[in-house]
């Protein structure tokens, strides 16, 4: 139940849309003490996973843990509802490892809804927002107007509508308005945004068919086993005790590709009906077949959607070809010959807001108090949405408190990389996070998310003292583990048990650990004290040792980077009056209005001489020119 705390407005904050971004935003604002209302088209689809029923993955798993460290919800939701866990990239090193879990998608959504319902300060309401209410000057938001004609007022609005704005679905020759199959589009908002002067573009995404598990032929497919032990996403969860189910892997055949090629003219994208750009990294099966014609086969992962459903998700064959073609080509895949399709794959085209129109706080530059987060900004992925939702929610609350917003830098968190990429570089296709986008990848390991961000969460009020105490114990534990590694020497007895330690005889465990072939888990088997240490202490101690040289180098780069980030540019900086920069740079600078010299340097078209001019201009304005 919510409270109505304001005299001059219905609520302190309105959140539009109950997807993954909306969930985080509304919880954050409510938890920070403000009366919040979440207005969403259907209360029954809160937290629904449109696509892959999984949370986490490369870089995304890091996001989930960072959201958790700051005080967000996603990690706890997945810990309670996962049905399979895998730690990815174990062989590629701790800097790029990431947790991933299949979710029971219905349980996940139900838990999300319940969590929202139980949050005090938060009200849920079913309606569709179609327009905004602004103040008399037209520069600040004052509320929203819904489809049923209601007007709800609040000084802060967070827009998290996902793929629903002017959404249109495509399956082959069929097309109709919609946000997801079976769910109506949000008509009106896209038009309203355009009317308010925002630049709005069009994107496309797609999803594969769902089928019945009973119609699979498992003997013809490979089994992908989960990790024997699940690990928690949340730093608060101690153990994860959840059922674990396997996935299947199969491959398309030449026949599959032939069917697709022969019917390609019936594809809405290749047939020219869809104008929105789709993601290169998540191509439909027809994209793959057309762009990589020499590949003999493409992987298909068959993933269960939940414990209480027979539906499975066909990962890797997203498609918007007509239903009969989908059925045909799916039946040509080993293991899927008798497949019964419950829902076809489809493409959805939707409006999105060019994110360069936002400040790093995710507030729009045009309209005070209006924040935008999630797929509406042109991202894809539940995790990217959640991260933005949390940032928008926190900053909406800070805005209400009249405080400076929280801006995480690229060296602090993947969240920082995500937001900076969006607001500084913009995006033309659905943006997805990769580790390669992070220059300081080595400093952003998932296991250090709490070290980096929990103190900030605590300072904001989203994390309690208990959490901070836990962190202190962890940091101490890691240091103690390092100390242990320094003191413990490799003995003949150790060598007898693990022969590769021969060349490290007499040296400390720490020195031995620098050898890429030596792992801390093996060393732990030699020493009971080491073995009793917490898993994450061992992992972080190991990373600290193995990465020492690289991290030292990266620290230098991070130091240089931070110095540029700290050179702030005042909000009222006169960009027009800046002489000596190139015309292209000036145009970009005026549009983006960077808040720091660091951000300015990342804008495409702005070159080092332009930065030099900017730096001098700032010094002059500060009146600190040296003589």
| Largest pairwise CA distance in the chain | 82
The C-alpha atoms of residue 244 and residue 438 are separated, in whole angstroms, by 32
CB of 625 to another protein, least distance (A): 4
Residue with smaller CB distance to another protein, 526 or 581: 581
Tell me the C-alpha distance between 509 and 538, whole Å. Answer: 12
Candidates 318, 311, 227; CA nearest to 267 is 318
Q: Which positions from 94 through 153 interact with another protein, judged by CB under 8 A?
A: 94-96
Residue 281 sits in the site that holds another protein (CB under 8 A): yes
Per CB under 8 A, 613 contacts another protein: yes
Q: Which of 148, 238, 265, 627 binds another protein (CB under 8 A)?
A: 627
Q: Considering only residues 578 through 607, tell me which ones interact with another protein, judged by CB under 8 A.
A: 579-581, 601, 604
Q: Determine the straight-line distance between the first and last CA of the chain, rounded to whole angstroms.
A: 63
**295 near another protein, rule: CB under 8 A:** yes
Q: Which C-beta is closer to another protein: that of 17 or that of 57? A: 57
Name the region of 506 (left: φ>0; alpha: ψ -120 to 50; beta: rest): left
Residues 490-519, interacting with another protein (CB under 8 A)? 515-517
Contact between 280 and 434 (Cβ < 8 Å): no
Q: Residue 436, interface with another protein (CB under 8 A)?
A: yes
Burial tier of 80 (Cβ tally within 10 Å: 0-12, 13-18, 19+): middle
The residue behind tokens 């920070």 is 32
Binding another protein by CB under 8 A: which of 6, 331, 437, 489? Answer: 437
Looking only at residues 76 through 95 of this chain, which bind another protein when binding is defined by CB under 8 A? 88-89, 91-95
Closest to another protein by CB, 49 vs 157, is 49
DSSP-assigned states of every residue in 43-89: GGGTT--SS-SEEE-TTHHHHHHHHHHHT-SHHHHHHHHEEEEEEET
* Under rule CB under 8 A, residue 434 binds another protein: yes
Helix (H, G, I), strand (E, B) or coil at 258: helix
Q: Is the dihedral of CA 207, 226, 102, 213 positive or negative?
A: positive
280 lies in the binding site for another protein (CB under 8 A): yes
Compare residues 272 and 608 and give the one whose CB is closer to another protein: 608
* Shortest Cβ 588–another protein spacing (Å): 15
- Nearest to another protein of 247, 408 (CB atom): 247
Positions 146 through 185 that interact with another protein (CB under 8 A): none
Q: What is the layout of strands, in order, in the sheet containing 156-159? A: 122-126, 36-40, 13-16, 156-159, 370-372
Closest CA to 54 of 195, 337, 247, 237: 247
Binding mask of the shown chain, residues 532 to 561, with x at each position contacting another protein by CB under 8 A: --------------xx--x--xx-----x-
Looking at the Cβ atoms of 51 and 141, the one nearer to another protein is: 51
Stretch that binds another protein, among 212-220, 297-305, 334-342, 356-364 (CB under 8 A): 297-305
For residues 22 and 11, give the distance between their C-alpha atoms in angstroms, rounded to a whole number: 16
C-alpha–C-alpha distance, residues 450 and 68, integer Å:
8
Residue with smaller CB distance to another protein, 30 or 302:
302
- Least separation in angstroms between residue 494's CB and another protein is 20
Q: Residue numbers of the site for another protein (CB under 8 A)?
A: 52, 58-59, 88-89, 91-96, 279-283, 288, 291-292, 295, 298-299, 301, 315-316, 318, 425, 434-437, 439, 441-442, 515-517, 546-547, 550, 553-554, 560, 563-564, 579-581, 601, 604, 608-609, 611-613, 615-617, 619-620, 625-627
């Amino acid at each position: 139940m919510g409270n109505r705390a304001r005299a001059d407005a219905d609520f302190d904050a309105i959140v539009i849309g109950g997807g993954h971004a909306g969930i985080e935003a509304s919880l954050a604002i409510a938890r920070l003490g403000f009366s919040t209302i979440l207005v969403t088209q259907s209360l029954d689809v809160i937290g629904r996973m449109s696509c892959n029923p999984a949370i986490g993955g490369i870089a995304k798993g890091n996001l989930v843990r960072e959201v958790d460290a700051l005080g967000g919800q996603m990690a706890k939701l997945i810990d309670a509802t996962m049905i399979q866990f895998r730690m990815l990239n174990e062989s590629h090193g701790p800097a790029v490892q990431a947790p991933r879990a299949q979710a029971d998608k219905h349980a996940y959504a139900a838990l999300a809804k319940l969590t929202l319902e139980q949050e005090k300060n938060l009200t849920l309401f079913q309606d569709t927002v179609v327009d905004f209410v602004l103040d008399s000057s037209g520069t600040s938001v004052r509320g929203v107007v819904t489809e049923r004609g209601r007007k709800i007022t609040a000084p802060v609005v967070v827009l998290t509508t996902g793929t629903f704005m002017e959404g249109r679905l495509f399956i082959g020759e069929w097309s109709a308005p919609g946000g997801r199959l079976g769910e109506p589009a949000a008509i009106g908002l896209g038009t309203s945004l355009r009317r308010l002067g925002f630049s709005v573009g069009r994107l496309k995404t797609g999803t594969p068919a769902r089928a019945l598990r009973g119609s699979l032929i498992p003997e013809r497919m490979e089994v992908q086993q989960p990790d024997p032990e699940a690990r928690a996403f949340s730093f608060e969860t101690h153990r994860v005790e959840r059922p674990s189910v396997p996935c299947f892997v199969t491959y398309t055949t030449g026949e599959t590709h032939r069917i697709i090629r022969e019917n390609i003219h019936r594809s809405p994208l290749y047939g020219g009906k869809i104008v929105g750009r789709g993601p290169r990294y998540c191509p439909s099966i027809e994209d793959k077949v057309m762009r990589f014609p020499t590949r003999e086969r493409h992987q298909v992962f068959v993933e269960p959607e939940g414990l209480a459903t027979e539906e499975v998700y066909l990962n890797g064959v997203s498609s918007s070809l007509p239903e009969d073609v989908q059925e045909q080509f799916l039946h040509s895949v080993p293991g899927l010959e008798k497949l019964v399709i419950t829902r076809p794959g489809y493409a959805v085209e939707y409006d999105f807001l060019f994110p360069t129109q936002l400040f790093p706080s995710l507030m729009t530059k045009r309209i005070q108090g209006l924040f935008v987060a999630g797929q509406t900004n042109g991202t894809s992925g539940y995790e990217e949405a959640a991260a933005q939702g949390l940032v928008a929610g926190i900053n909406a609350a800070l805005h209400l408190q009249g405080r400076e917003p929280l801006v995480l830098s690229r060296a602090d968190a993947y969240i920082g990389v995500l937001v900076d990429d969006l607001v500084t570089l913009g995006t033309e296709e659905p943006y997805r996070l990769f580790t390669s986008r992070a220059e300081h990848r080595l400093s952003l390991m998932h296991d250090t998310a709490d070290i980096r961000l929990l103190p900030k969460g605590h300072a904001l009020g989203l994390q309690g003292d208990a959490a901070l105490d836990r962190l202190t114990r962890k940091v101490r534990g890691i240091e103690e583990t390092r100390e242990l590694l320094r003191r413990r020497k490799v003995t003949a007895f150790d060598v007898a048990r693990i022969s590769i330690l021969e060349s490290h005889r007499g040296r400390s465990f720490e020195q031995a650990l620098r050898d890429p072939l030596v792992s801390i888990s093996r060393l732990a088997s030699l020493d009971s004290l080491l073995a009793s240490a917490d898993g994450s202490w061992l992992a972080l101690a190991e990373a600290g040792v193995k990465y020492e040289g690289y991290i030292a180098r990266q620290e230098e780069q991070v130091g240089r980077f931070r110095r540029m980030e700290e050179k702030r540019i005042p909000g009222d900086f006169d960009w027009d009056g800046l002489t000596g920069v190139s015309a292209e740079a000036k145009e970009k600078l005026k549009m983006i209005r960077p808040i720091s010299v660091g951000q300015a340097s990342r804008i495409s078209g702005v070159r080092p001489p332009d930065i030099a001019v900017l730096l001098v201009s700032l010094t002059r304005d500060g009146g600190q020119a040296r003589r």
